[in-house]
A and B are shown apart, each in its own frame.
Chain A
Amino acid sequence: MAERTPVGQPDVEVLRGSAAAFEEELRSLAPALPERINADPEHAENGLAKLVLTLIALLRDVLEHQAVRRMDGGTLRDDEIERLGLAFKRLDERMQELKAIFGLTDEDLTIDLGPLGRLR
């Protein structure tokens, strides 16, 4: 049993920089307490909104990436670039509105799939 060097309470040590900066960063990283056992009817629809908006944002990322590649590759006509860009712009505006309505931020638009990692 020699290897059981006791492990006490964890130390959290700021080796460089300010504690405040890390507090803020850790707050933004920490996932919300799980919704399913913290059911608050008043905010319940947010779970669904978050799911839908995350999926839309994910698709938007994929499609935007393709659009930029095509634009840079020179395979799109000027009017096509314009149409695509405006469509994405409108989608972005709608998403901003919906995020505001449901009180979500960009950082909320991720879904934790446990061992599979994060979606988006």
Chain B
Amino acid sequence: MTVYLYCLVASGHEPAPGLTGLGGAPVRVVSADGVDAWVSDLHDAGRATVAHARAHDAVVRAAMAQETPLPARFGQTFADDGALCRSLRERGSVLAERLARVRGAAEMTVRLLVEPSSAEALASEQRSLSAAHPSTGRAYLALARARQEARAEAARRADFLQARLWQCVAGVVREEARTPLVWPARSVTLSHLVARDALATYRLAVQRFVERELRQPVLLSGPWAPYSFTEQPRG
């Protein structure tokens, strides 16, 4: 049996009676140094299934109903409560700081698909690299250069879109995180930490940005628990 971790919550909040997590196990609290971990006991090997991923988020969301938690990544188990407590104590003050940082906020996620024309260009670049079978060494290196340039171009485009969106939402966003581009990059993902009472204003700002300035396809999702804001801010 192992202890499965859902999220960390500032102490003083209890899971509602009857709240269950993976495998229907009751959610309970393990406290360490002013931080509460919401956990449940896991009896089997903890198969990673869609149902379990949903159950994980449901518990995080239940915490969210009381106070914004630091959501844990799916799939972390500990041998027992003591092992979890030791891990938490090692990082005690850092975790308290991060909880304070997300307090009263939620995460919104914006995904921008790169312009179709560029995406096609990138895709054909990829295809030509693998299918062209360049006959000489020099030709191969030229294709390698094209691939490197396509990557750099994708990064530049991502920077540009990020900066433009930021100008429109900066007033209502506490913090921004960008998911690293995964090659072959077709989309830019930006996550925003937004005060819960400013969510409607944020939505309007994004919609205005899309209407006025953007031709790319855009997906807006949230509010989520602050999954993208659990680590030290980068850069």
Name A residues whose Cβ lies closer than 8 Å to a Cβ of B: 3-18, 21-22, 25-26, 28-29, 33-34, 36-39, 64-65, 67-68, 71-72, 78, 81-89, 92, 96, 106-107, 110, 114-115, 117-118
Q: Which residues of B contact A34 (CB under 8 A)?
A: 48, 74-75
The 4 lowest CB-CB distance pairs between A and B, nearest first, are A17-B217, A85-B137, A33-B48, A3-B104
| Given A17-B218, A37-B47, A89-B134, A10 and B224 contact (CB-CB distance below 8 Å) | yes
Q: Which residues of A contact B168 (CB under 8 A)?
A: none
Q: Which residues of B contact A17 (CB under 8 A)?
A: 113, 216-219
What 0/1 pattern do residues 40 to 79 of B give for CB contact below 8 A with A?
0000011111100100000001001111000001110000
Give the interface segment out of B27-35, B155-163, B181-189: B181-189
Cα(A15)–Cα(B210), bound, Å: 7
Beta-carbon contact of A15 and B137 below 8 Å: no
Q: Among the listed A7, A72, A86, which residue makes an inter-chain contact with B64, where contact means beta carbons less than 8 Å apart? A: A7
B26 within 8 A of A: no
B84 CB to nearest A CB, Å: 17
Q: Among the listed A25, A65, A83, which residue makes an inter-chain contact with B137, where contact means beta carbons less than 8 Å apart? A: A83
Cα(A106)–Cα(B182), bound, Å: 10
B201 within 8 A of A: no
Beta-carbon contact of A12 and B219 below 8 Å: yes
Q: Which residues of A contact B184 (CB under 8 A)?
A: 106-107
Beta-carbon contact of B141 and A67 below 8 Å: yes
Q: Among the listed B136, B183, B195, which residue makes an inter-chain contact with A3, where contact means beta carbons less than 8 Å apart? A: B195
| Given A33-B53, A37-B47, A85-B138, A15 and B206 contact (CB-CB distance below 8 Å) | yes
Cα(A87)–Cα(B195), bound, Å: 54
Cα(A65)–Cα(B148), bound, Å: 8
Q: Which residues of A contact B74 (CB under 8 A)?
A: 34
Beta-carbon contact of B183 and A106 below 8 Å: yes
Q: Which residues of B contact A107 (CB under 8 A)?
A: 182-184
Segment 86-110 of B: residues with Cβ below 8 Å from A: 103-104, 106
A38 CB to nearest B CB, Å: 4
Beta-carbon contact of B49 and A33 below 8 Å: yes
Scoring B61, B141, B180, B197 by chain A CB atoms within 10 A of each residue's CB, the highest score goes to B141
Pairs across A and B, CB under 8 Å, 28 listed = A3-B103, A7-B61, A7-B223, A10-B221, A11-B220, A13-B221, A15-B206, A16-B210, A16-B215, A16-B217, A21-B113, A25-B186, A34-B48, A34-B75, A39-B45, A64-B141, A64-B148, A67-B141, A68-B145, A72-B145, A78-B138, A87-B137, A88-B140, A88-B141, A89-B134, A107-B182, A107-B183, A118-B182
Beta-carbon contact of B148 and A68 below 8 Å: yes
Closest B residue, CB atoms, query A5: B196
Cα(A7)–Cα(B226), bound, Å: 12
Given contact pairs A85-B134, A88-B137, enumerate 5 new A-B contacts (beta carbons under 8 Å).
A4-B65, A15-B210, A29-B189, A64-B148, A114-B73
